[in-house]
Structure 1
Amino acid sequence: MTTTIRGECHAALISAPGSGQGKSMVTAALARLHRNAGRKVRVFKHGPDYLDPMVQEVASGAPVYQLHPWMTGEAECRWRLAEAAREADLILVEGSMGLFDGDPSSADLAILAGLPALPVIDAWGMAQTFGAVAQGLANYHPDLAIFEVIANRVGSPGHGRLLAESMPAGLSLLGAIPRSEAMAIPDRHLGLVQATELAGLDRQLDAAAEVLEAAGLDRLPARITLEAEAPEPPARLLDGRRIAVARDDAFAFLYRANLDLLEAMGAELSYFSPLADEALPACDALWLPGGYPELHAARLAANAPMRSAIRAHHAAGGPILAECGGLMACVETLVDGEGQAHEMLGLLPGTARMAGKLTALGLQGLHADLGELRGHTYHHSRLETAAEPLCRTRKLAGSEAEPVYRQGALVASYFHGYFPSAPRLTAAIFRGQRFSPLDP
């Protein structure tokens, strides 16, 4: 028997005409502004992204989950939003890329959920053309609601007035954000710098919130009703299973929904640091998620006790899931961005070599007899190996399908999976059970 959940709150999807317009920091600053005003704020992220949600969690003080009509599924998108609306005063969904980029795009999510879109437009170098850009976004899709926009990186109060005067009928300027150091956040080759590495992030978010308040952005977006069917709880396929999860500056790309699912299936999770710890926690299986092993390769190579512990786990038939950065740690050698070679775990023959540029990007799925695990690939390294892959992922969009390797009970790939899309397949991997790939 299904249960319908329903909630009402203020909500908006924060997007932009394209990447680099400042929507991530605007979303974070809005979350902090309203949180500081005493409101309960929930932030979500459209699409496969690990780094932006880290900052949004610090900004809002609440967990951040991914929403993507293909990767997480339409029903889950509706459910997570409706569930949040039951307790939150404000929901903000940070879009990805440009408003209409990708399939499904941020706009598709907004239409699916009934959210108004609130575009952030970088006004640097624009005057009256700003209104034309806003009008184009608002009129591009008849089912998408856009009532107001935000101007970012505005040069002066006079510049802000020009932008406001350029707005066409039916659209208004919510606020003009001046250029400010408080609104800048550093990034690196995979996206934003991890929140745990940003000293003074809380102070910066408070300062950014003050910038937005002074610009008139303390007004709440529209209040809407969100309704959905609650999902059935997953089967207890991992009852009593102890899973050790790598989590530190080198391995941190973890979807909260993945962790939630493992626990809902009965797993007991414990966390360890391949950088700092010398022994594994008591466990039946390991998860080495993505991250930045290339930035910490020397420390990983120097931690001989941990490498020995993981090798012993593998030799004893212990299951290991290694995703992207985890895969790079499992090969024999990792060559970092400076060309320095470092000894890794050696569970998979070959070398992972930083390429100095993006080598893969796109939505993909691992199609097997136990379900289709959906997710994505995004990396700046190449794998040189003589190992034959078990299979390849199914490419939905972007770069070529990724090989998936199996060595004993190790499953390793550059592919990042969203576990709730295939609970049975996920459980089989962590139980060390065989699965049969299907043709992509």
Structure 2
Amino acid sequence: MKATVSAAMITAPGSGQGKSMVTAALARLHRNAGRTVRVFKHGPDYLDPMVLEVASGQPVYQLHPWMTGEQECRWRLVEAAQDADLILVEGSMGLFDGDPSSADLAKLMGIPALPVIDARGMAQTFGALALGLASFDPDLPVRQVIANRIGSSRHGDMLRESLPEGIELLGAVPRSEAMNIPDRHLGLVQAGELGDLDQRLDAAAEVLTEAGLEGLPLPVTLEAEKPELPPQLLNGVRIAIARDAAFSFIYRANLDLLRAMGAELAFFSPLADSELPEVDALWLPGGYPELHGATLASNKPMLEAIRNHYKASKPMLAECGGLMACVEELMDHDGQTHKLLGLMPGRASMAGRLQALGLQSLNTDQGQLRGHTYHHSRLETEWQPLARTRKVAGTEAEPVYSHNGLVASYFHGYFPSAPELVAGIFRGQVIRPLTDKEPDHA
């Protein structure tokens, strides 16, 4: 299948340049102009896509040549291009950071990189930086750049004049409160917590309009084959999924896969609901339980319902924040301790700095589940892990605990990378990890 569409990889020289808000504002600008905009995010990220979905009014999926696979990256873009007027891919970190980097994804997809450069305190060096990004990899086209956080129109003119031949200034974005969204220790504040997010995005879109960013990127031609449907391994299985302000780190592709394998999904709130839906299995995804410890601890009927699910030996997956909810005690950032589910012995406590970060995989004879870890808390438990993830990049591998149908880890899995393993977890099958001496299912 082929499609031609305007597309760009919105990237930057590094983190903190403002690319997330520029991407969101561009999506809202073109949506307000009546265009269909599809946005994707490079790499593992839950928080940026929440904002990008509100900005574009369309679903947002992850693209990562290793985690999601090259074939899926190509198909997602081609599928979106069937009815989209514009495709934007928000990069991660700096353009060439990581393996695979945002540049690697842009080259794989055949789309140009469009760097956002924070120009505060910068004049002619802006041109040198743009030239460096454009010439570092001759296989990656960089024909335009965006200047962010300029101080005046004269400042924007200086930046434009500094650019070498072949690189155009697409727009110069002034410093504005409209281009800011609050953040916290794991990234942006969740979109659902910002009651005025639509107004913020409309204001940001107006800033970009005034900066001359109404034009569409150059069109590109995309091509991919439609993937095969996954096996129907979850027919008749009903899965309860926690989804609220405390548990919200869920990839859309994970939900799509569960449904495609035949599962029926029922969502509930551990914060607000008093009972579980009638289900066969349970998923506690990641999120911010540390911000809601008191509310979670005070919801006794829900705690008891989840405990009863566990006592019945029904399958249960707990990822990161879900794992934190499963221990006896959770100590939050303020040093307050909250009594939670107590399915696992021990406690989770928030640390003053990042404890783990990076791409990882869980390698089993049922498949290689690819994903990542990213957390600010520490776990103390007497349980011995059934397995450990394998580090691909970043910090040390994560333990994976399994007992009485519960599978718990700080590791976040991308379900489509290992459908058979995921189906086995939700059917209560025993995970059979590979040893280091056995080959990967790469």
TM-score (norm 1): 0.99
Gaps of 5+ in 1: none
Does residue 1:41 correspond to 2:41, yes or no?
no
Does residue 1:356 correspond to 2:360, yes or no?
no
Given the alignment, which residue of 258, 272, 277 partners 1:276?
Answer: 272
Q: Who is 1:189 aligned against?
A: 185
In structure 2, C-alpha distance between the alignment counterparts of 1:345 and 1:163, rounded to whole Å: 56
In structure 2, C-alpha distance between the alignment counterparts of 1:50 and 1:435, rounded to whole Å: 26
1:1-150 matched pairs, under 5 angstroms: 5-150=1-146
In structure 2, C-alpha distance between the alignment counterparts of 1:75 and 1:258, rounded to whole Å: 17
In structure 1, C-alpha distance between the alignment counterparts of 2:199 and 2:340, rounded to whole Å: 38
- Partner of 2:225: helix, strand, or coil? strand
1:65-87 per-position Cα deviation (integer Å, ceiling 9, x unaligned)? 00000000011000101111111
CA shift at 1:142, angstroms?
Answer: 1.1
In structure 2, C-alpha distance between the alignment counterparts of 1:380 and 1:391, rounded to whole Å: 22
Q: Who is 1:341 aligned against?
A: 337
- Partner of 1:221: helix, strand, or coil? coil
CA shift at 1:199, angstroms?
Answer: 1.9
In structure 1, C-alpha distance between the alignment counterparts of 2:431 and 2:314, rounded to whole Å: 16
Residues 6 and 83, structure 1, Cα contact 8 Å, conserved in 2: no
1:294-353 per-position Cα deviation (integer Å, ceiling 9, x unaligned)? 000000000000000000001001110000000000011001111111101011111001
Given the alignment, which residue of 370, 379, 403 partners 1:407?
Answer: 403
In structure 1, C-alpha distance between the alignment counterparts of 2:11 and 2:194, rounded to whole Å: 24
Gaps of 5+ in 2: 437-442
1:422-437 matched pairs, under 5 angstroms: 422-437=418-433
Residues 82 and 227, structure 1, Cα contact 8 Å, conserved in 2: yes
CA shift at 1:435, angstroms?
Answer: 2.2
In structure 2, C-alpha distance between the alignment counterparts of 1:166 and 1:81, rounded to whole Å: 34
The one-letter code sitting in structure 1 at the alignment partner of 2:150 is V
Please identify, of 410-419 and 341-350, the stretch whose mean Cα deviation from structure 2 is larger.
Answer: 341-350
Structure 1 segments of 4 or more deviating over 6 A?
Answer: none
TM-score (norm 2): 0.98
Q: Who is 2:295 aligned against?
A: 299
RMSD: 0.5
The one-letter code sitting in structure 1 at the alignment partner of 2:212 is G
CA shift at 1:192, angstroms?
Answer: 0.2
Given the alignment, which residue of 230, 237, 240 partners 2:233?
Answer: 237
- Partner of 1:397: helix, strand, or coil? coil
In structure 1, C-alpha distance between the alignment counterparts of 2:431 and 2:240, rounded to whole Å: 22
- Partner of 1:248: helix, strand, or coil? coil
The one-letter code sitting in structure 1 at the alignment partner of 2:377 is S
Q: Who is 2:440 aligned against?
A: none
- Partner of 1:367: helix, strand, or coil? strand
- Partner of 1:230: helix, strand, or coil? coil
- Partner of 1:282: helix, strand, or coil? coil
CA shift at 1:181, angstroms?
Answer: 0.6
Identity fraction in percent: 73
The count of residues paired between Structure 1 and Structure 2 equals 436
